[in-house]
Each structure stands twice: as structure tokens, then as C-alpha cells.
């Protein structure tokens, strides 16, 4: 299986090699390393490794904890490699442009794998969504218009106004990253962790939020007014979804609304 590790380590020669050697010794095969930040003599890296499904993850954590100055900030299962420089976001925007009628659903379906998340939803919130005055109503008066596999019927409710790209954490431990499309009150929300996800998953890093915002901005540029078209739900109304995108099997219109 793929295992993801968020590791904070000293930003000095040899530190990364020491972490890599330790992962090899405990039996983890490194397939990807993404540098999230390098600040104040410290670095934060995301490692994706192949790990035996039957192997105890504690063995990895114990090995890394023995390295001076190294701290594991998160460990969670992965489904695909997350490589910001791989061009996958560019390829995704190409798919959106090739089939714009299903563009929003395409982005929502792809987002969890791109950002190491458990699920993603596009929600449409009230008409006063852009202002700070929407703080109390923005989330509760929203409708889910597209959802990925494993998305909760009712997404965690947190304060997302005033809207801007950022990371949040809900009371139940679910970590969220949100980015508004700046059209039609639409917001892309990706989530990981919590009771129904991987409990060891870390909050979204600022670099991940920046990537999410770039993806949302590119999607909005390609789809334009389609994001505010008649195929989207009216805020607060149940039973609507993106044109051509059915609600998940087993759900009814009355349950597919926040």
C-alpha cells in the first residue's frame, strides 16, 4: 500500500539522507518526496512510500523518532502519488476544457488524489457569500452540487467566511482546505482525517492550499459562466446538482444538501 508521511527535519546537509536511509532500513520503499517548506533552518517534507499492508506503521514511526531533530507530523494512507511538479493539474484542466459540461465534476472527482485527501465537494452558498456578514449563514445555507466518492452526505460545518483560500479544521478532527471559484457562490472543499478518514492525517499545509487555489482559479477561467449557469442549485434548495452529474447512488435529493 502507499503510505504518506509528513516529516519535519533540520534543513542541513545529510538530514534528508538520514531520513531516507532509516525508511529503507525499516522496509519502506520511497517513491516520492515533496518539499513543502524550508524556513528558519527547518524543512517539512511529504514522503510517499510503499509499505506492506500487514506491516505495523509503528515501526516506521519508531525509526524516525530515533533521528535527532526529526518529527513526524502526520501519517496516512495514500491512493496516488502527490507530485506538484508532475503536470497532473495541467492535464486535469485539459480534461475540463475538453468536456466543459462535466468540468466541475471532473475537478471534484480528481481533487482527493491530487491533494492527499479523503474526499472533495463543490458547495454553493448564499448570495451574500463574499462578505464578512455571511459568516453565520454561509455554510448552513449551502447546497452540495458535486461530490467525490466517500464524500459525507453533510460536509463538516465550519466558519468559511469571509471566503478566501485557506486551511481549516472541524471540531470532529476533519481537516479541510477551501478555495472559492469567485463565481456563483461556488467553493471547492477537500477534506481528510476525522472519524471516517485517516486519524493520523495532518492539516493541509499552506503550499497545498496554494495549489488548490491555483487549480480552482484555472477551472474558473476555463468554465467561466458555466459555473453560474442554470445547472447549479439555488442556494439553500435541495436536490440539485451540476448539470450532467447525478447525486451519489443511495442518496435522495432531500439528504444531499447541507
Query: Which pLDDT belongs to residue 54?
Result: 83
- Quick one: pLDDT band at residue 141, thresholds 50, 70, 90? low
CB neighbour list of residue 102: distance below 8 Å, 6 or more residues apart = 242, 244, 245
Query: Which pLDDT belongs to residue 232?
Result: 52
Query: Which pLDDT belongs to residue 104?
Result: 96
Render pLDDT for 201-238 as a digit per residue (tens, 0 to 9): 999 999 999 999 999 999 999 999 888 754 454 433 33
Q: Does the pLDDT of residue 128 top 80, yes or no?
A: no
pTM over 0.85: no
- Quick one: pLDDT band at residue 171, thresholds 50, 70, 90? confident
Render pLDDT for 175-206 as a digit per residue (tens, 0 to 9): 999 999 988 789 999 999 987 767 789 999 99
Percent of the chain surpassing pLDDT 70: 78
Render pLDDT for 46-90 as a digit per residue (tens, 0 to 9): 999 999 888 889 999 999 999 999 999 999 987 766 666 557 899
Alpha helices in 81-171 (DSSP H): 88-98, 103-114
d(CA 184, CA 126): 9
Q: Does the pLDDT of residue 170 top 90, yes or no?
A: no
Query: Which pLDDT belongs to residue 139?
Result: 56
Q: Does the pLDDT of residue 155 top 90, yes or no?
A: no
d(CA 114, CA 112): 6
The three-point CA angle 33-34-40 to 5° equals 115
User: Is-contact 158 204, C-beta < 8 A?
Assistant: no
Q: Does the pLDDT of residue 174 top 70, yes or no?
A: yes
Amino acid at each position: 500500500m502507499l503510505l504518506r508521511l509528513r516529516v519535519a527535519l533540520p534543513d542541513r546537509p545529510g538530514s534528508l539522507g538520514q531520513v531516507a536511509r532509516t525508511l529503507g532500513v525499516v522496509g519502506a520503499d520511497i517513491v516520492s518526496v515533496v518539499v513543502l517548506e524550508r524556513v528558519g533552518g527547518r524543512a517539512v517534507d511529504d514522503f510517499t512510500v510503499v509499505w506492506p499492508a500487514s506491516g505495523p506503521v509503528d515501526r516506521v514511526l519508531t525509526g524516525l523518532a530515533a533521528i535527532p531533530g526529526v518529527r513526524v507530523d502526520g501519517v496516512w494512507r495514500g491512493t496516488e502519488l502527490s507530485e506538484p511538479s508532475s503536470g497532473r493539474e495541467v492535464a486535469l484542466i485539459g480534461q475540463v476544457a475538453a468536456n466543459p459540461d462535466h468540468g466541475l465534476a471532473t475537478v471534484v472527482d480528481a481533487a482527493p488524489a491530487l491533494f492527499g485527501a479523503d474526499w472533495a465537494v463543490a458547495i454553493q452558498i448564499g448570495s451574500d457569500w463574499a462578505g464578512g456578514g455571511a459568516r453565520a449563514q454561509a455554510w448552513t445555507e449551502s447546497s452540495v452540487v458535486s461530490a467525490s466518492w466517500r464524500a459525507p452526505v453533510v460536509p463538516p460545518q465550519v466558519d468559511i467566511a469571509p471566503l478566501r483560500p485557506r486551511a481549516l479544521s472541524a471540531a470532529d478532527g476533519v481537516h479541510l482546505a477551501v478555495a472559492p471559484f469567485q463565481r456563483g457562490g461556488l467553493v471547492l472543499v477537500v477534506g481528510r482525517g476525522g472519524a471516517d478518514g485517516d486519524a493520523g492525517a495532518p492539516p493541509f499545509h499552506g503550499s497545498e492550499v496554494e495549489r488548490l487555489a491555483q487549480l480552482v482559479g484555472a477551472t474558473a477561467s476555463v468554465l467561466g459562466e458555466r459555473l453560474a449557469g442554470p445547472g447549479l442549485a439555488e442556494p439553500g434548495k435541495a436536490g440539485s446538482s451540476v448539470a450532467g452529474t447525478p447525486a451519489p447512488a443511495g442518496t435522495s435529493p432531500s439528504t444531499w444538501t447541507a
